[in-house]
Amino acid sequence: MAEKATGKHRADVQINVLESFELRSRRSIRESEKNRLSRAERRLAKKLAKEDAKFFAAQKAAQANGSAFVVPSAKPVAFHARRSVRNTITMSIAAGLFATFALPAYAYNPDVAARSRFTTTNAEVIASAQDTQNLTVAAVNTVRFARGKYESADAAEIARQEIVNNYRTYSGPTAEDFVANPPYSTLDGATILKVAASYVGTPYVFGGATPRGFDCSGYTAFVFAQFGIAMPHSVHGQARMGILIKPEDALPGDLVIMNDLSHDGIYAGNGNFYHAPRPGDTVKLAPIFTSNVHFVRLATN
Residue-level pLDDT at 249: 96
Is-catalytic flag, 216?
Answer: yes
Confidence class for position 49, pLDDT limits 50, 70, 90:
confident
CA-based nearest residue to 285, from 212, 207, 193? 193
Beta bridge partners of 204: 214
Q: Is the model's pTM score more than 0.85?
A: no
Given 9, 80, 236, 263, which residue is catalytic? 263
Confidence class for position 141, pLDDT limits 50, 70, 90:
very low
- Cα 282 to Cα 15, 222, 286, distances in angstroms: 114, 15, 11
Residue-level pLDDT at 213: 96
Q: 3-class DSSP state for residue 264? A: strand
Confidence class for position 76, pLDDT limits 50, 70, 90:
low
Confidence class for position 217, pLDDT limits 50, 70, 90:
very high
DSSP string, 7-20: HHHHHHHHHHHHHH
Given 80, 233, 236, 275, which residue is catalytic? 275
Q: Write a three-state SS string for 197-256.
A: HCCCCCEECCCCEECCEECHHHHHHHHHHCCCCCCCCCHHHHHCCCEEECHHHCCCCCEE
Tell me which of 82 and 269 has the higher pLDDT. 269
Residue 225 has pLDDT above 70, yes or no: yes
Q: How far is 49 from 185, CA to CA, in rounded Å?
A: 94
Q: Where are the domains of the chain?
A: 89-138, 158-297
**In this structure, which CATH number among 2.60.40.1180, 3.40.50.11540, 3.90.1720.10, 3.40.50.1100 belongs to the domain 158-297?**
3.90.1720.10
Residue-level pLDDT at 275: 98
Tell me which of 140 and 150 has the higher pLDDT. 150
φ/ψ of 104, rounded to 5, equals: -60, -25
Q: What would the mean pLDDT of 22-49 be, rounded to a whole number? A: 77
- Cβ pair 197, 284 in contact under 8 A: no
Q: How far is 74 from 9, CA to CA, in rounded Å?
A: 71
Q: How far is 217 from 232, CA to CA, in rounded Å?
A: 8
Residue 232 has pLDDT above 70, yes or no: yes
Given 216, 233, 236, 294, which residue is catalytic? 216
Provide, rounded to the nearest whole percent, the portion of the chain with pLDDT above 70.
Answer: 67
Residue 179 has pLDDT above 80, yes or no: yes
DSSP class of 79 = G
Q: 3-class DSSP state for residue 293? A: strand
Q: Which of 98-107, 113-122, 240-249 has the highest mean pLDDT?
A: 240-249
Residue 43 has pLDDT above 60, yes or no: yes
